[in-house]
Each structure stands twice: as structure tokens, then as C-alpha cells.
Copies of this chain bind each other. A is one copy, B any other.
């Protein structure tokens, strides 16, 4: 009856500590070390809590911290983060494909399940989905070995007039944003052509499957594309 620990790998971490590693992973993608205040903002905790946790994670060999200068993942920490991201994206795919969740609604559920699901469950889900390589928002799913295609993609905001490209992915964080995108027809896989770009960060007008839509510059910067 006691809740069994999920951890199949040695060195059990709590879900909290795991979340820190995931956040550091994402922040670090900018190239800079993850800043204490950014981690705090991302997790919704006080900066002081982050300082404390970073010391613990450093003691465990999961991150390298330079005092006053932020944190970077050590290889074992990176591995944990990548497996968590794998879990997250497989769960999102499963919920959307097998349980009728809409793509804007899968994030929070996955955020909780990724800490509780066993590796066996994750792999069974992956198998029942035919081992997908991207989640419903187009984010690439790391392999069991921790390989992931993290090319930095161009966004719609970086396209030029008359250019055509295929939408690859978008952030999964804000359900309302995702619903908006789906509403105007922007989902992974569709082709878009830039019709016009208003100056001074103005809206971008584009064609999606014969329809004209106009989206704000901020939104355009959150939708990533690749050459057709």
C-alpha cells in the first residue's frame, strides 16, 4: 500500500528537484548559465529557494554552480533532464492521441505524470504510439539514450515576404495561445507563406492553406519553421 518509488535508476530525486533540472536545461539552451532569478520565476518559487536547491543539486553532482553567476547541468543532471523531457513529450503525445485530449490541454497533466510514471510505462506508451519523434506541439522527443534534435529553428518572425516554410513546432506552455494558433490554422506540419510584414514590430500577414491570417509579431516569434 505504501507508494512505491518510481526511480529505476539509483539516486532517487524528488519531483521538485527534477523540475529544477528540467528548468535549468531549458534556460541553458540560450548558451548562458541558468540564472537564479530565471529559475525562480520559471518554478514560481523565491530566489532564495533556488540558491538552496542549487547547492543540494551541486552536492549531488547534477549541476555546476558558480556563485553569483548561475548554474549549468553536469552530465548526470543533463541525463535526468533529458529523460524527463522524453517522458513529458511521450505522455503529451499519448494523452492527445489515445485519450482525446486537445493539444492545448496536455501540458499540465504531463507535468505531473512525468514524475510518477515508471520507465516501463513510458516505453509502453511510446510503443503504442509507434515511437513518435515529436510531441503534439512539434517538440522533438529525446531518445532513451538521451539524443535529441535540438536545432535552433527560425521563427515566423524571422521570415521574409513571399517566403514559404513548414511549421514545425511551438511552445506548449500557454493553452490559450495554443488554442489561438489552432484557431488560425497554425499547427505543426502546415505550410505558411508570408504575405506582408508591417514595420515597427507590426503584425505579420500570412497565407495558410489559401486563407489569409494576420498574427502579432510576438506570436510570430513563438512559431518555429523549417524550409519546405
By a beta-carbon cutoff of 8 Å, the part of chain A in contact with chain B is 1-4, 6, 15-16, 19, 22-23, 26, 42-45, 95, 98-101, 108-109, 111-113, 115-118, 120-121, 124-125, 128, 173
Contact A128 B111 (CB under 8 A): no
For A100, what are the chain B residues with a Cβ–Cβ distance below 8 Å?
124, 128
Nearest chain B CB to A91's CB is how many angstroms away?
10
Contact B43 A19 (CB under 8 A): no
Q: For the complex, would chain A's binding face be called helix, strand, loop or mixed by DSSP majority? A: helix
Instruction: Say yes or no: A111-B16 contact (C-beta < 8 A), given A121-B99, A124-B100, A125-B99.
Output: no
Query: Across the interface, which residues of B come within 8 angstroms of A2, CB to CB?
Result: 19, 42-45
Q: Are B99 and A109 in contact (CB under 8 A)?
A: no
Q: Which of B1, B101, B113, B120 contacts A124 (CB 8 A)?
A: B101
A19 to B118: give the CA distance in the assembly, Å. 19
- Bound complex: CA A138 to CA B99 (Å): 24
Q: Is the CB of B6 within 8 A of A112?
A: yes
- Kindly provide the distance from the CB of A114 to the nearest chain B CB, expressed in whole angstroms: 9
**Could you tell me if A4 and B108 are in contact, using CB atoms closer than 8 angstroms?**
yes
Inter-subunit contact A113/B111 (CB<8 Å):
no
Contact A112 B19 (CB under 8 A): no
Q: Which residues of B contact A98 (CB under 8 A)?
A: 98, 128
- Does the CB pair A113–B115 fall under 8 Å? no
Interface contact B124-A118, CB-CB below 8 Å = no
CB distance from A13 to the nearest CB of B (A): 13
Residues A19 and B3 in contact, CB atoms below 8 Å apart = yes
- Bound-state CA distance A125–B125 (Å) is 14
CB A71 to nearest CB in B, in angstroms, measures 15
In the complex formed, the residue of B with least CB distance to A26 is: B1
